[in-house]
Chain A
Amino acid sequence: MNFINPFINMFGDIAPIIAMIFVFQLLILKQKIPNIKVVLFGLLMVWVGLTFFMLGLEKALFPLGRLMAEQLTSLDFLGKEELFWFDYYWVYIFAACIGFATTIAEPSLLAVAIKANQVSGGSVKPWPLRIAVAFGVAIGIALGSYRIVAGIPLHYFILTGYLIVIVQTYFAPKQIIALAYDTGGVTTSTVTVPLVAALGLGLASTIEGRNPLIDGFGLIAFASLFAIMSVLAYVQLKHLINK
């Protein structure tokens, strides 16, 4: 296994942020960097860590996503020739399980849930919020898999979802809106994204009549959208009950 080349290639990816920090600190603020040794050691860890992480993605997460898609749609697993969208129900269940499990364990969602608790003056509880978002993401990724299987254009779903978010925004308590919108970007972590993307691409390449180029992407968009909708829905529900 060759580690040297990917290691060198990775440097280009972290160079801009490092350069920027040094330029701002030394030239614009004209201050020395505190604990320079610790900072440099940290950056070295970032570099080595990123290299290993990317190697691991190629060897494990991408193949796993593709393998699950292939196995769950293979004809000898499904056991018949004529297939309708509901014959792929194990695909939807798998997608929902991955969505639920990764969201419930997501550390940044926990951080958002704690902030939401503070913003709402304690009425939004962290645990129920996390469960609500995890259910939302589970439904989102399952629906997204159905879209790939059925071959329906992605933007029909996403633009409808935007409409729902706008309506929800109108009714939602003001102080929670920004936080709810942020949840969409926060819930899909670095580990989940490659796995879910590989699942979508795998489904689009194994199912008859689907094209990875057009049908393969979009699962992550579903996950982000449904995360926003579930936070707004949960807060709205809470608001109605408390009234």
Chain B
Amino acid sequence: MNEALRRLANNLLESGKDLLPIVLVITFFQIAVLQRPIPDFSSIALGTFYILIGLTLFISGLRTGLFPIGESLAHALVKRGSLLWLLVFAFTLGFGTTIAEPALIAIAREAADVAAIGGIISHDQSAVDNYASTLRITVAIAVGLSVVLGVFRILKGWSIQWLIIGGYLLVLLTTLIAPEWIIGIAYDSGGVTTSTITVPLVTALGVGLASSIRGRNPLTDGFGMIAICSLFPIIAVMIFGILL
């Protein structure tokens, strides 16, 4: 129990460290540059407290519940040697972690609100919710396929730079035909998707796979997975914009 409390305190400290730079920069600007109090201070302070508590519980929960079992599952499946199950696992891992990613939930909501205000979709709540969840599912499918591609890359020993340069070319081509209003959110979705849940689990799969195959070096071949996962959602979201 003591051990659990100590870990919780550590996670609280880590969440605090994540929030502190933002609090410091904003406080400095408010006092030294803008020279006025923060409007609606009490509500923002309460919200910051929620974030601190929420992030701490979220990270603690991931570390005690999800990460150990996710990692052991990844290693067990790599050892089992069935390519089909490994690929199914890779896809569902990418999809599942992305759907639960808090930053993506937040950005998708904002994007849906902006799309409603800009007249891309109708104003009623169901259309807005529908747009946000379709956007997230699009990104999640793209991340799922990216993890599959990343597994293939490690198995076959393809070099990462050709995949990434190929991806850049696809981004360029899709940008040419995508509607103007989807480009910003599409480019942003790349950096958004790979966050708190996705990075540790997907990296565990990559490193586990690279260390179990002869001739692969976990330090060099195990990485690159996140790069693929942050590139292909860009293309997928632009295609979503073209089809909408």
Residues of A within 8 A of B (CB): 13-14, 16-17, 19-21, 24-25, 28-29, 31, 33-34, 38-64, 67-68, 71-72, 77, 90, 94, 97-98, 101-102, 104-108, 115, 118-119, 153-155, 158-159, 162, 165-166, 169, 174-175, 177-179, 181-182, 184-195, 197-198, 201, 211-221, 223-224
Contacts and interface: CB of A to CB of B under 8 A. Distances in A.
B148 interface: no
B59 to A, nearest CB: 7
Nearest to A46: B61
Interface of B: 14, 17-22, 24-26, 28-29, 33-34, 36, 38-40, 43-66, 68-70, 72-73, 76-77, 80, 85, 89, 92-93, 95-97, 99-103, 105-107, 110-111, 114-115, 117-118, 120, 160-161, 164-165, 168, 171-172, 175, 180-181, 183-185, 187-188, 190-197, 199, 219-221, 223-227, 229-230
Contact of A189 (B18, B183, B190): B18
Contacts of B180: 153, 214
B161 A39 contact: no
Given A178-B160, A185-B190, A189-B195, A61 B47 contact: yes
Nearest to A182: B226
A192 B103 CA distance: 9
Contacts of B183: 153-155, 218
A25 B50 CA distance: 33
A185 B199 contact: yes
Contact of B224 (A102, A181, A224): A181
Nearest to A175: B220
Given A60-B51, A101-B21, A212-B114, A21 B70 contact: yes
Contact of B65 (A38, A94, A162): A38
B158 to A, nearest CB: 11
B65 A39 contact: yes
Given A68-B26, A179-B223, A53 B102 contact: yes
A7 to B, nearest CB: 12
Nearest to A192: B22
A216 B68 CA distance: 38
Contacts of B52: 56
A166 B193 CA distance: 23
Contacts of B93: 20
